Structure 1
Amino acid sequence: MKNGQRVIVRLSDKAVQTPGKSGTEYWGGDDNEVPRQLLDHISVTVGASPAIVPYSAFADLGDVRFASLVATGTGFELKISGGDTASSYEARLIFRDGFLIEKIVRLLEMPDERNEIAKYNFPRR
């Protein structure tokens, strides 16, 4: 993306073994229903260098419907949409100079009222 570098993203998910109601856990913006599928791996390669994507950046994202990569002025965003009806969410993993710097998850039904923001800081190469 930046400087003509190629970005390769791979996502994989797995079936949840015990789907059903859960009143105490939160999954991808939904606080009542355990998803049928959960992301279990994201790999990102920028040019020839792998980017660090910790499990915490995607472990709570379930029932992914769509993912896209969007160029920004300083890097790129991986946008992930998922959930179902009232539990639909959009997650944005923001990369700058080949490093994950932020994750923002918004519940689409109330995007200005319920969101989660996580900041990341990794050692530079």
Structure 2
Amino acid sequence: GIAAVAALGSAVVVADTAASQLAAEEGGVPAQLVRQSGGRLKDCNATRLLRRLATELRRGEAEVLPYAHRLVTLNWLEDIADLDLVEDRHWEAWGVPEKLVIEVKANVRAHMEDRIQTSISNWCSGWTS
């Protein structure tokens, strides 16, 4: 209804504002990438994870958007497994809050363990077929 449209409209404004702030801070190629995105985050697993974590951590989406743009728009980290490539020095340099980093890492670890378990199960089932 009208409330959903209003919420969507405010989310777009928040996303555009976060993207504009990031572009202003970065300049150069990163700024161009953010401008090219039109302030909108790509809908991908990494974005969905960060939005879910914002809710779980009782934070507004606006607080997480600059970090989501940093990861997804500027560094093209779109899959959960891609986030495993981010080192502690990156999280620190990007100013990502420690609690968010801890939660992202826990989710990445769980995702990787699930992938390994699935691979092992598939490999073992090949032996029994």
**Structure-1-length-normalised TM-score:** 0.26
Q: Which has the higher helix share?
A: 2
Per residue, is there more strand in 1 or in 2? 1
**TM-score of the aligned structures, taking structure 2 as reference length:** 0.25
Larger Rg: 2
Q: Greater relative contact order: 1 or 2 (C-alpha under 8 angstroms, separation 6 or more)?
A: 2
